[in-house]
């Protein structure tokens, strides 16, 4: 049995193409069942996100299966296959496994290390499990992908650093304050970047937000949007001591907050640390503020620097992650090959043979007055009996007609007779917990 | 038996220290958990050593430099384990366990022979005075380690050097809170140790205070920590300033304890 994947992603297709073949998450039953109904396709999982559309399937006929999946993708969405063909990639066997491990570990993402993709694949797998289009092989396949992703996440720092300026600001604030839930953010002026950063802080959970602007009406409008408190610009220094995190981006041509102001403000708030983020160009906050005890000032360039370092760091971590993926591919294939028929039949025969020999030896050792030649006859009897017992299951296993799920029988046999390498019930069960 | 327990403690603490230090460069959470378990095991062996010594000597084993340093180390590890449990930050151990190990290693260089107790020390105050004093010292030791972390972390933030070590160390405010918590725990103990010492001095030597070098330096220590706590409550001595003062305070604690004993002599000398 072979695992194949056919699909396209942000690396091979522009959004105009991707959106044409995307599957709606609310209607997964129909396409999933249509795929498993295709000739020679036994299991299927469809992953459809804004960055990729992929169909994973198991088949006995790799080339034919891939062609059928491609045809299905085109026909289902009424797109000419010729138009799609150049954007599609297809993998089988080891390459398909490497692909799913990399996708789940977010190594194939647009922003390497972003964590959403794992959840999206889990949801996709959830549909496949719900509509029973995935079976023993794809179950194990995806569970392995989830565990690889988890290993990558815990053993590398691929997703542990911020790669956007707004997020970097939040991460830094956490390094100063720890918990942000009792901290107040003050927004001075308005600007896209500033508002984005404010939103990040609100999403992380801060106690309160204050907004101030030269035009009070604009401050009020923004305050309403963030359910924040509007403050008059002239009262800025009255409110500054209440703020822990200050986001500034006014259009002022000169500094509006100076070293002396900050010294005074810090005294008034008993030296509790303050985090200034200056996103304005030209700058709003005198760089000397960073010299004030317990005041930390970061400009947009500093934050860009943080992001650049983090992206570099991610590249290093990605290399570690790739090594983990390679390791795990080997393990998965060991299991997959155990599902092959011939080695299972050999293992089963060996197991029966062992039992036969052991029982025979036990009987003969207690049997003193055995007539000559009887030993041979007993052996032959046992052998014939064993062959008769094994004949039927063996011939069923060897059948290759379509629809015969001998991978299931193989796994069952390995379980029933303890032949090793069987999937555990937990792995066969759907487990969507983290 | 006694020597075996002591040496085992020394070895286990050394292993724990190596593990904690490797937390600074390794990412696997396993390392931290293992370090915690090893240190916990070392702590139990250390307690066994101290209890065993108590029964062998027949009095609280804090009567010579070896015993005092060993108890100092024990108290530091004990309070540290509590902090780690309370604040869930095993990275603190990277800065505290080396200190506990160092103190115990110094203890090892002094003779561990159980000697008959100096008649002047035969008093129920021995236990109270010394145990309380060393618990206070231990709290200051942890505040010292945490304050060093604070200075490092604050330096990284100011200079925008946000490397892997920066990522590992806890947030500034948490470090500040732990250090402060340790001081508010240690300060009353130090106060109590000085008062109980004065009472004991009155019963033993007939005078509450005799300006013996140890007494003088203890008083200096007390004033430093009192100033630190007072400054924090009134004008907000926080952050770097508080961290530096806590470091200075602990260095004076060490001098009060070791320096006075080894160089200045006086009534508190173990000689």
Strand order in the sheet with A52-59: A41-48, A52-59, A2-9, A89-92
Per-range mean pLDDT, top range of A67-76, A403-412, B236-245:
A67-76
Q: What is the pLDDT of residue A90?
A: 95
The answer to whether residue A50 is catalytic is yes
**What tokens appear for A122 in the block?**
């889990």
On whether both A351 and A216 belong to a single domain, the answer is no
Q: What are phi and psi of A95, to 5 degrees?
A: -65, -35
CA–CA separation, B42 vs B16, rounded Å?
8
Does residue B181 register a pLDDT over 60?
yes
Does residue A207 register a pLDDT over 70?
yes
**What tokens appear for A256 in the block?**
């509006």
Answer with the one of A261, A289, A307 that is the final residue of a domain: A307
Report how many Cβ contacts below 8 Å link chain A to chain B. Answer: 63
- DSSP assignment of A101-114 equals HHHHTTSSSSSTT-
Q: What is the pLDDT of residue A434?
A: 43
Q: Domain of A142? A: 2-155
Q: Searching chain A, which residue's CA lies closest to the CA of residue B234?
A: A270
Q: What is the pLDDT of residue A409?
A: 82
CA–CA separation, B246 vs B228, rounded Å?
8
pLDDT category at A126 given cuts 50, 70, 90 is: very high
CA–CA separation, A269 vs B177, rounded Å?
16
**What tokens appear for A179 in the block?**
């918990």
Question: β-pairing, A274-278 with A245-248?
Answer: parallel
Q: What is the pLDDT of residue B60?
A: 85
pLDDT above 90 covers a percentage of chain A that reads: 47
State CA B185 to chain mean position distance. Answer: 12
Answer with the one of A106, A131, A155 that is the final residue of a domain: A155
On whether both B113 and B162 belong to a single domain, the answer is no
Answer with the one of B117, B147, B176 that is the final residue of a domain: B117
Q: Searching chain A, which residue's CA lies closest to the CA of residue B169?
A: A175
In this prediction, residues A190-206 reach a mean pLDDT of: 84
- Residues in CB range of A137: below 8 A, 6 or more apart: A1, A3, A42, A43, A58, A336, A339, A407
Does residue A312 register a pLDDT over 90?
no
Closest CB to B241: pick one of A157, A175, A293. Answer: A293
Of the candidates A54, A62, A53, the residue with the CA atom closest to the CA atom of residue A3: A62
Q: What is the pLDDT of residue A402?
A: 60
Question: β-pairing, A184-188 with A89-92?
Answer: unpaired
CA–CA separation, A430 vs A423, rounded Å?
13
On whether both B264 and B133 belong to a single domain, the answer is yes
Does residue A277 register a pLDDT over 90?
yes
On whether both B109 and B226 belong to a single domain, the answer is no
CA–CA separation, B186 vs A394, rounded Å?
77
Does residue A401 register a pLDDT over 70?
no
- Residues in CB range of A417: below 8 A, 6 or more apart: A348, A351
3-state secondary structure of A248: strand
Q: Is A90 exposed, middle or buried (0-12, 13-18, 19+ CB in 10 A)?
A: buried
Task: Give B61-115 pLDDT, tens digit per residue.
Answer: 888 889 999 999 999 999 999 999 998 888 899 999 999 999 999 999 887 777 7
Q: What is the pLDDT of residue B258?
A: 83
Instruction: Indicate whether A136 belongs to any domain.
Output: yes
Cβ–Cβ of B28/A154 closer than 8 Å? yes
Binding-site residues of A for NADP(+), please? Answer: 189-194
Cβ–Cβ of A267/B241 closer than 8 Å? no
CA–CA separation, B41 vs B48, rounded Å?
11
Does residue A189 register a pLDDT over 80?
yes
Specify the CATH number for the domain of residue A112. Answer: 3.30.460.30
Answer with the one of B117, B142, B166 that is the final residue of a domain: B117
Task: Give A4-24 pLDDT, tens digit per residue.
Answer: 999 999 999 988 889 889 998
pLDDT category at A427 given cuts 50, 70, 90 is: very low
pTM above 0.80, yes or no: no
3-state secondary structure of A400: coil
In this prediction, residues B4-13 reach a mean pLDDT of: 94
Q: What is the pLDDT of residue B112?
A: 74
On whether both B177 and B105 belong to a single domain, the answer is no
Does residue A133 register a pLDDT over 60?
yes
CA–CA separation, A278 vs A188, rounded Å?
10
The region, left, alpha or beta by phi > 0 then psi within -120 to 50, assigned to residue A286 is beta
Task: Give A338-396 pLDDT, tens digit per residue.
Answer: 777 777 888 888 888 888 889 888 888 888 788 888 888 888 999 999 999 988 888 88
Which chain A residues are within 8 Å of B171, Cβ to Cβ?
174-178
Does residue A433 register a pLDDT over 80?
no
Q: What is the pLDDT of residue B163?
A: 83
Which chain A residues are within 8 Å of B236, Cβ to Cβ?
267, 269-272
CA–CA separation, B263 vs A271, rounded Å?
40
Task: Give B24-71 pLDDT, tens digit per residue.
Answer: 887 777 888 999 999 999 999 999 999 999 998 888 888 888 999 999
pLDDT above 70 covers a percentage of chain A that reads: 95
On whether both A108 and A232 belong to a single domain, the answer is no
Q: What is the pLDDT of residue B269?
A: 63
On whether both B158 and B207 belong to a single domain, the answer is yes
Q: Searching chain A, which residue's CA lies closest to the CA of residue B238?
A: A271
Q: Domain of B103? A: 1-117
Does residue A425 register a pLDDT over 50?
no
Alpha-carbon Rg for chain B, nearest whole angstrom, is 19
- Residue-averaged pLDDT of chain A: 87
In this prediction, residues A395-411 reach a mean pLDDT of: 74
Q: What is the pLDDT of residue A403?
A: 63
- The total of structural domains in chain B comes to 2
* Helix, strand, coil in percent for chain A, rounding step 5: 55, 15, 30
Does residue B223 register a pLDDT over 50?
yes
Neighbouring CB atoms inside 10 A of A31's CB total: 21
Does residue B189 register a pLDDT over 70?
yes
Q: What is the pLDDT of residue A400?
A: 66
Answer with the one of A307, A325, A350 that is the final residue of a domain: A307
């Amino acid at each position: 049995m072979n695992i194949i994947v056919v699909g396209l992603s942000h690396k091979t297709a522009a959004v105009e193409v991707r959106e044409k073949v995307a599957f709606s998450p609310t209607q997964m039953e129909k396409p999933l069942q249509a795929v498993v109904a295709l000739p020679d396709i036994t299991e299927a999982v469809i992953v459809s996100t804004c960055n990729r559309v992929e169909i994973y399937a198991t088949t006995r006929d790799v080339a034919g299966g891939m062609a059928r999946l491609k045809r299905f993708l085109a026909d289902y969405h009424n797109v000419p296959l010729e138009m799609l063909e150049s954007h599609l990639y297809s993998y089988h066997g080891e390459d398909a496994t490497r692909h799913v491990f990399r996708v789940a570990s977010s190594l194939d993402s647009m922003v390497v290390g972003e964590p959403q993709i794992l959840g999206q694949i889990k949801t996709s797998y959830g549909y496949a499990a719900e509509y029973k289009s995935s079976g023993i092989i794809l179950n194990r396949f995806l569970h392995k992908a989830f565990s690889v992703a988890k290993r990558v996440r815990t053993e590398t720092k691929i997703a542990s650093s911020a790669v956007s300026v707004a997020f970097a600001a939040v991460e830094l604030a956490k390094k100063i304050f720890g918990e942000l839930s009792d901290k107040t953010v003050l927004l001075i002026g308005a600007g896209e970047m500033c508002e984005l950063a404010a939103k990040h802080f609100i999403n992380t959970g801060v106690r309160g937000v204050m907004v101030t602007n030269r035009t009070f009406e604009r401050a009020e409008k923004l305050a309403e949007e963030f359910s924040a408190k509007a403050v008059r610009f002239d009262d800025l220094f009255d409110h500054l001591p209440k703020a822990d995190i200050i986001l500034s981006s006014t259009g002022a041509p000169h500094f509006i907050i100076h070293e002396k102001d900050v010294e005074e403000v810090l005294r008034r708030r008993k030296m509790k640390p303050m985090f200034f983020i200056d996103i304005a160009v030209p700058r709003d906050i005198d760089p000397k503020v960073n010299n004030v005890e317990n005041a930390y000032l970061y400009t947009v360039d500093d934050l860009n620097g943080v992001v650049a370092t983090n992206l570099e760091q991610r590249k290093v971590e990605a290399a570690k992650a790739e090594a983990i993926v390679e390791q795990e591919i080997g393990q998965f294939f060991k299991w997959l090959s155990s599902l092959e028929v011939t080695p299972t039949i050999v293992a089963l025969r060996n197991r029966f043979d062992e039992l036969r020999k052991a029982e025979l030896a036990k009987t003969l050792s207690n049997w003193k007055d055995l007539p000559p030649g009887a030993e041979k006859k007993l052996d032959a009897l046992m052998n014939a009996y064993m062959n008769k017992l094994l004949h039927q299951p063996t011939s069923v296993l060897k059948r290759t007609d379509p629809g015969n799920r001998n991978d299931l029988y193989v796994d069952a046999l390995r379980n029933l007779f303890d032949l090793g390498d069987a999937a555990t019930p937990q792995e066969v069960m759907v487990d969507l917990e983290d | 038996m006694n020597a075996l327990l002591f040496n085992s403690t020394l070895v286990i603490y050394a292993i724990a220290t190596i593990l904690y230090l490797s937390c600074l460069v390794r990412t696997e959470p396993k390392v931290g958990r293992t370090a915690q378990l090893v240190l916990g095991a070392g702590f139990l062996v250390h307690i066994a050593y101290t209890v065993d010594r108590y029964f062998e000597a027949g009095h609280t084993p804090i009567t010579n430099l070896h015993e005092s340093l060993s108890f100092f180390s024990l108290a530091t590890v004990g309070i540290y384990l509590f902090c780690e449990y309370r604040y869930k930050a095993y990275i603190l151990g990277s800065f505290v366990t080396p200190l506990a190990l160092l103190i115990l290693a110094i203890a090892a260089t002094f003779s561990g022979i159980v000697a008959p107790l100096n008649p002047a020390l035969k008093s129920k105050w021995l236990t109270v005075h010394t145990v309380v004093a060393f618990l206070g010292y231990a709290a200051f030791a942890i505040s010292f380690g945490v304050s060093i972390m604070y200075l490092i972390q604050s330096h990284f933030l100011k200079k925008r050097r946000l490397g892997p070590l920066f990522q590992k160390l806890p947030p500034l405010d948490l470090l500040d809170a732990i250090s402060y918590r340790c001081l508010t725990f240690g300060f009353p103990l130090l106060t109590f140790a000085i008062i109980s010492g004065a009472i004991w001095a009155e019963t033993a030597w007939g005078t509450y205070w005799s300006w013996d070098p140890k007494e003088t330096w203890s008083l200096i220590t007390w004033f430093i920590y009192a100033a630190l706590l007072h400054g924090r409550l009134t004008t907000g001595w926080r952050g770097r300033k508080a961290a530096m003062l806590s470091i200075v305070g602990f260095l004076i604690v060490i001098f009060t304890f070791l320096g006075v004993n080894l160089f200045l002599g006086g009534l508190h000398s173990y000689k």
